[in-house]
């Protein structure tokens, strides 16, 4: 089953990566020693963690040929939403869209797959975590991801597809992934843009993105 948010991917410039990661660390997000290079697309990434072993990954361009234009046309923002599975074969036996993909284990990752084109404006994917252990299991305290809101003209389309692809249970008017709520709302974007809400931060704040935002409530998780 899909049991958790695995990691969330942002596109950013190097300066935006530094600014966002600095703001998150000051809010209590723990640093993680994890850097990836993607020389085939002239990109790299750095990450910060959050409670439960998940992370926020910031992908930035390092040189030609550069990353997919659809990712970097509007930055910084969330471009990818990853989910953790303890039964990878079953959970990726979906009715895919054109461009569905599977990635073999590499760079320390277990295999992963997506039900639609990876180089999309916004994409989702599933990571194989058969032992129900996320990448940074030592992260047992700190900010908790309470809610992901996908807002835009295609919000209901994403609501339907995520429920169908991943078998996520309903929660109110949205869906649930472990203890994280997935909400769907109207918005000006023709696709969707993501807003992330975290509890247990150092205090309330809003970190704006090019579209969507990171909301830090400062509240205790009850």
- Strand-pairing partners, residue 213, are 208
Average pLDDT, the chain: 94
So what's the pLDDT on residue 103?
87
pLDDT per position as a tens digit, 184-211: 999 999 999 999 999 998 899 999 999 9
Is residue 147 packed enough to be buried (19+ CB in 10 Å), middle (13-18) or exposed (0-12)? middle
**Closest to 5 in 3D by CA, of 184, 217, 148:** 148
What are the tens digits of pLDDT across the range 92-137?
999 999 999 998 766 566 799 999 999 999 999 999 999 999 999 9
In contact, 166 and 90? CB cutoff 8 Å: no
Averaged pLDDT, 77-103: 95
**Which residue is it, tokens 């830090």?**
216
Which pair of structure tokens corresponds to residue 14?
Answer: 């190097």
pLDDT of residue 107: 56
The pLDDT of residue 104 is 79
CB 3 within 8 A of CB 66: no
pLDDT on residue 65: 87
Helix (H, G, I), strand (E, B) or coil at 136: coil
pLDDT of residue 47: 97
pLDDT attached to residue 93: 95
Per-residue pLDDT tens digits for 47-63: 999 999 999 999 999 99
All domains in the chain, ordered by first residue: 2-216 (3.10.180.10)
What is d(CA 215, CA 189) in angstroms, rounded to the nearest whole number? 19
């Amino acid at each position: 089953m899909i049991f958790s948010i695995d990691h969330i991917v942002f596109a950013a410039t190097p300066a935006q990566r530094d600014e966002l990661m600095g703001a998150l660390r000051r809010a209590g997000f723990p640093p993680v020693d994890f850097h990836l290079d993607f020389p085939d697309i002239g990109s790299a990434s750095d990450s910060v963690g959050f409670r439960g072993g998940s992370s926020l990954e910031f992908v930035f361009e390092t040189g030609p040929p550069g990353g997919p234009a659809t990712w970097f046309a509007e930055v910084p923002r969330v471009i990818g939403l990853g989910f953790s599975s303890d039964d990878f074969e079953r959970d990726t036996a979906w009715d895919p869209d054109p461009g569905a993909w599977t990635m073999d284990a590499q760079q320390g990752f277990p295999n992963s797959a997506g039900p639609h084109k990876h180089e999309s404006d916004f994409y989702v994917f599933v990571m194989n975590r058969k032992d129900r252990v996320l990448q940074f299991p030592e992260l047992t305290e700190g900010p908790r991801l309470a809610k992901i809101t996908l807002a835009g003209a295609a919000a209901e389309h994403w609501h339907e597809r995520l429920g169908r692809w991943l078998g996520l249970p309903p929660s109110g008017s949205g869906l649930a992934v472990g203890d994280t709520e997935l909400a769907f709302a109207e918005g000006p974007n023709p696709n969707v843009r993501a807003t992330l809400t975290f509890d247990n931060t150092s205090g309330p704040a809003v970190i704006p993105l090019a579209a969507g935002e990171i909301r830090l409530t400062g509240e205790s998780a009850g």
